[in-house]
């Protein structure tokens, strides 16, 4: 069987609004990263995400979700954990498994400088009193 070759069209900057709307409709106005609706999001806060190696457009995302996705990938590459997409996916999967495991505490320790919200509030009050 011969693989079907896909052709891509390089969009023009003037086409951004049209492409964004097309992507949003295809996605039912749901951000694929956070899973939340983008219907009430200002248009300037919805961006067109693309692969920086190939330029291929992937989806419309909240600006913050796009930033998070790019930051994670950049960090994985910087740490040498993602020489390619496959390695990045494996590392991300391991991170998710790590988070799921630790939803239930696995040790009996609290980090030495951790403060509860109440302790933080008390420290802030103390600082304000000292300042006066």
Q: 23: how many CB neighbours lie within 10 A of its CB? A: 19
In a domain, 68, yes or no: yes
More confident residue, 70 or 131: 70
DSSP-assigned beta bridge partners for residue 127: none
State the average pLDDT over residues 114-128. 92
Q: Encode pLDDT of 74-116 as tens digits.
A: 888 888 777 788 888 898 899 899 999 999 989 998 888 999 9
Is 20 within the bounds of a domain?
A: yes
CA angle 56, 60, 63 (to 5 degrees): 110
| Structural domains of the chain, count | 1
Domain that holds residue 23: 13-101
As a whole-number percent, the residues of the chain with pLDDT over 70 amount to: 99
pTM of the predicted model, to two decimals?
A: 0.71
Could you tell me if residue 3 is inside a domain? Answer: no
Answer yes or no: is 28 within a domain: yes
Q: Domain holding 25: CATH number? A: 3.40.1800.10
Residue 54 lies in a domain: yes
Higher pLDDT pick, 74 / 3: 74
- pLDDT over 90 at 31, yes or no: yes
Q: Does residue 1 fall inside a structural domain?
A: no
Residue 40 lies in a domain: yes
């Amino acid at each position: 069987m011969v693989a079907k070759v896909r052709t891509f069209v390089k969009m023009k900057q003037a086409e951004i609004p049209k492409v964004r709307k097309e992507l949003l409709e295809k996605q039912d106005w749901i951000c694929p990263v956070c899973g939340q609706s983008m219907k009430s999001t200002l248009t300037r806060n919805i961006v067109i995400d693309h692969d920086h190696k190939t330029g291929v457009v992937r989806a419309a995302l909240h600006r913050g979700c796009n930033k998070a996705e790019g930051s994670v990938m950049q960090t994985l590459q910087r740490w040498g954990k993602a020489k390619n997409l496959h390695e990045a996916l494996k590392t991300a999967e391991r991170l998710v498994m790590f988070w799921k495991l630790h939803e239930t505490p696995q040790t009996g320790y609290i980090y030495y400088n951790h403060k509860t919200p109440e302790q933080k509030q008390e420290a802030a009050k103390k600082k304000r009193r000292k300042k006066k």
